[in-house]
Amino acid sequence: MRALKAHIKNMLPQKLMYLYYLNSAKKASMYDLKRRVYDKVYNKSDVEKVKRDLALAYHIVEKGLTMPKPRPGFGKAVVMSLLDTVEKYAEFKLPKHDLEFTQSISVLKEYLHFHEQISFTLDNDLLTRLQTINKRFATVEGQKQIRTNKLDYFKHKNGSFDKFCQSRYSVRNYTNHEVPISVLHDCINLAQRSPSFCNRQPNRVHIVKSPEKKEAILNIQNGNRGFGHLAETLIVLSSVVSTTKDIHERFENHLNGGLFGMTLLNALHYNEIGACSLNWSVSDDKDMKLREIINIPHNEVVLMIIACGYLPDEFSIASSPRKSAEEITKLH
Ligand SMILES: Cc1cc2nc3c(=O)[nH]c(=O)nc-3n(C[C@H](O)[C@H](O)[C@H](O)COP(=O)(O)O)c2cc1C
């Protein structure tokens, strides 16, 4: 039966084969696509959406506060929208101890405090709203951004697993000190210890050192403003789609890449290299542009980018607090 199938396959013109695979791929992908589209149109869970919007906005402000050189008055539009979402959350009468809420309030207070400390006068409309929040939620506390130094940041690099894990953060500040390729290879070899489906090892790594290429890539990535230009190295993670057998394995590239990416981040931390993941959730034209810049083979899918480099003596990191195990776990 298998031989007959292969024989028929060989006799079919390639174009017909392509259309056949495309059709079955569309059918399989629709199952997932419909869930996503349904969520965007029909999911009336305002609670989930308001929490998502809080996290999205407070994280941008959190990042702004920890930039190598925070710009006085930065991010007015996003702070205003965070204030709107906080008010919406309060209107819904949702729990005041939920992380998205407490951290949003904490970040807004920190934003106000930062500008008071540098004696920068914020626009009146913004200032009034921030002061109101400050008074109204005087007792609400979140996690402040962290000012640290190289020695302290890496002090658990040879420590116990729990201490090591808790000590890694995304760092968005780098020196121009060269990270040798051999050290990057050491890190990539460690990342290669990550499990992969049937040990098929689909991950690929493109190391970008050329200043022109780094700049061109960062110009089309939407999450590196204020720090990306400092990255001594960009690591573009990709995955070979030809390692998947059929369309039902379509998520394996991203899943395997996620496991690989986490080990790589840990390996960079272990080698005293600061790193920050950069999303590659982009439109197809940007993806095609990236392929032109660094000549990525057609059968590789790009997963994410890691900006990295050796660290300055002192720097700030975004606290990015986590929900507890109890909050995200369901026992069945
Ligand atoms: C897939 C992925 C994409 C990310 N994209 C960005 C990005 O574009 N810009 C950025 O500054 N941080 C980005 N991050 C870093 C997250 O903001 C960070 O991991 C999160 O806030 C948790 O903080 P931590 O890494 O310090 O533990 C990304 C992280 C992941 C995993």
Q: What is 270-283 written as a DSSP string?
A: HTT-EEEEEE----
Alpha-carbon span 202 to 240, nearest angstrom: 5
Q: Provide the pLDDT confidence category of residue 45 given band limits of 50, 70 and 90.
A: confident
Name the H helices within 92-122.
99-117
Residue ranges per structural domain of the chain: 2-42, 46-144, 149-316
Protein residue with its CA nearest to atom 6 in ligand 1: 278
Closest ligand 1 atom to 59 CA: 21
Classify domain 149-316 by CATH number: 3.40.109.10
The pTM of this model reads 0.93
Among 277, 317, 320, the mutation site with the greatest number of ligand 1 atoms within 8 A of its Cβ is: 277
Protein residue with its CA nearest to atom 30 in ligand 1: 277
| Residue range 247-303, pLDDT digits in tens | 999 999 999 999 999 999 999 999 999 999 999 999 999 999 999 999 999 999 999
Task: Kindly compute the dihedral angle of the four CA atoms of residues 290, 281, 272, 318, in this order, to the nearest 10 degrees.
Answer: 140
Closest ligand 1 atom to 261 CA: 31
| Residue range 26-42, pLDDT digits in tens | 998 999 899 999 988 88
H or E, element range at 292 = helix 284-294
Q: Does residue 148 line the site of ligand 1, with CB under 6 A?
A: no
Q: Does residue 170 line the site of ligand 1, with CB under 6 A?
A: yes
| Residue range 175-216, pLDDT digits in tens | 999 999 999 999 999 999 999 999 999 999 999 999 999 999
What average pLDDT does this structure show over 233-253?
96
pLDDT of residue 3: 79
